[in-house]
Amino acid sequence: MTLAPIRDWLARVRWLALGHALGLTLLAMTGAHAQSASSASTAPAVPPVYVIPIRGAISPASASFAVHGIEQASKHGAQLIVIEMDTPGGLDKSMRDIIQAIIASPVPVATYVYPGGARAASAGTYILYASHIAAMAPGTNLGAASPVAIGIGGPKPEAGPAPASAPSSAPAAEDTMTRKQMHDASAYIRGLAQLRHRNADWGERAVKEAVSLSADEAVAQHVADLIAADLPVLLRQVDGKRIEAAGAMRTLHTAGAPVVTLEPDWRSRLLAVITDPSVALILMMIGIYGLIFEFSTPGMVVPGIAGAICLLLGLFALQMLPVNYAGLALIALGVGCMTAELFLPTFGALGVGGIIAFAFGAVMLIDTDVPGFGVPLSLIATLSTVSAVFLFGMSMVLLRARRRPVVSGADALVGSIGVVIDDAPADGWATVHGEQWRIHSAAPLVRGQRVRVTARRGLVLDVTTAGDPS
């Protein structure tokens, strides 16, 4: 009887020991898992590197794409922004928009002239100077940063022979505006060079003498920072660098960092298409022709809507481009003259004058000599020819419409045949087109006589007998 309590006590002890062991095991496993999770959480992920490719001329579209890309990279916590560049130059305003975004960026920006054979000419040199890191691929070049007709219309004056005492870098026979542009560009690139601790003297030479450098020479003269064959090599070379951006020091950890390449969105693609000067001019002319066709033949609707859309798109593109307003005024004058030719009998004088004004205005329209931003003469000749054909065709259509007999209204009564209702010495009544009209005749009229209407004076018709000459 005394052994049963002992056995029960021993069983309880065994179960307690087993539970305690299991609890210790679970506690150890939980602790290990928590420790591993804690260590994983304390190891932050490597921030990405954003790549913004810029190809071709620096335009309002590329500026919008670059500025938006820098903002997006900053918002998503990028540690470095790489602008892959291959450009012959571009517009001054677009270049300055990109540079302002680079200087204000809290994320370091590296300008990378890539691939081999690419260039960062003219505006590209300024952007490279403004970047925190300047890199170039083998076989690339930069320079030729002289300002080219920035905001100035008309051709440049011919340069005469320079005096022997003048320095080689001094432009000869330059006007005041050219000197202003040159000094402004020199000061601008020198300021960027001092900001990034680069060769300011060579930057001024690139502006005044339009000189260029290869990649090896650029690194040797402290214009560029490094040479990298491709993007992974570039990221390995800048790994561990400490860079100041927007007043804060940042350490780069770019070796093996994830790379995000941005692509232009629909807005940038649309801007790239419509801000081409040739496309903008074509859109404007299509819009004008559509509105002229709509006003000349009301009720078509589609030409009016399409014309209004094209005209607004063309004007939107022109306001983003360096436009010569004298050229725009000549285009408007030419279109006005061609429109007036359709409604006035000038025998082609207004039409020919309008085509000439349009051609001169199209040549003067874009106020810059930057490559890729002019209107080709072949396009101007084509549009002038199309305008002449359109004008001739619309004039023929309107002329035929004017020569058609009147089939409605009061004027349609002239030449109509009527029948006299009663005898009258001079004034009486007649039925014309099923209506009774008061008539006047120089000869006496008899009932049932046929008469011809020669004129209308208010509610009285002048008539003659149908057999008389009208």
Asked if 464 contacts 415 with a C-beta cutoff of 8 angstroms, the reply is no
In terms of pTM, does the model score above 0.85? no
Residues forming the active site = 122, 180
Q: Calculate the alpha carbon distances from 426 to 105, 434, 446, 467, 468 in Å.
A: 96, 22, 10, 17, 16
Number of residues in the chain: 470
Distance between CA atoms of residues 364 and 137, nearest Å: 39
Could you tell me if 155 and 129 are in contact, meaning their C-beta atoms sit under 8 angstroms apart?
no
- The letter for the amino acid at 318 is L
Determine the Cα–Cα distance for residues 204 and 222; give it in Å rounded to an integer.
14
Extended strands (E) in 88-140 = 109-113, 119-121, 133-136
- pLDDT score, position 168: 43
Backbone angles phi, psi at 464, to 5 degrees: -130, 165
Task: Name the residue among 224, 203, 64 with its Cα closest to residue 134.
Answer: 224
Give the residues across from 120 on adjacent strands: 87, 142
Q: What is the pLDDT along the chain (470 residues), one digit of tens a residue?
A: 455 555 665 566 565 665 655 565 555 555 545 454 444 344 457 899 999 999 988 988 899 999 999 999 999 999 999 999 999 888 888 999 999 999 999 999 999 999 999 999 989 999 999 999 999 999 999 988 777 644 333 334 344 444 433 444 444 445 777 788 888 889 999 999 999 999 999 999 999 888 999 999 999 999 999 999 999 999 999 999 999 998 889 999 999 899 999 998 888 888 888 888 888 889 988 998 888 878 777 777 888 899 999 999 988 888 888 888 888 899 889 888 888 877 776 777 888 888 899 888 888 888 766 666 778 888 888 888 888 888 787 777 766 766 666 555 566 677 788 888 888 787 888 888 778 888 888 888 888 888 888 888 878 888 888 864 44
Report pLDDT for 299.
Answer: 75
Question: Where, residue-wise, is CATH 2.40.50.140 in the chain?
Answer: 410-465
Residues 6+ apart with CB under 8 A from 174: 157, 159, 182
- Does 410-465 carry CATH code 2.40.50.140? yes
Distance set, CA 469 to CA 409, 432, 454, 464 (Å): 24, 18, 10, 8
Q: How far apart are CA 389 and CA 381, in angstroms?
A: 12
Fill in the amino acid letter for 392: F
In degrees and rounded to multiples of 5, residue 233 shows phi and psi of: -65, -40
DSSP 366: B
What does the pLDDT read at residue 148? 63
Instruction: Determine the pLDDT at residue 27.
Output: 57
CA distance 145 to 182: 10
For 83, 119, 288, 391, the CA distances from 241, given in Å and listed in that order, are 18, 25, 57, 66
Position of tokens 């660098």?
241
Give 2-58 as a 3 state SS string. CHHHHHHHHHHHHHHHHHHHHHHHHHHHHHHHHHHHHHHHHCCCCCCEEEEEEECCE
Whole-number pLDDT of residue 170: 42
CA–CA distance, 147 with 150 (Å, rounded to integer): 7
For CATH 3.90.226.10, the residue range(s) in the chain are: 49-152+177-265
Q: Does domain 49-152+177-265 have CATH number 3.40.228.10?
A: no
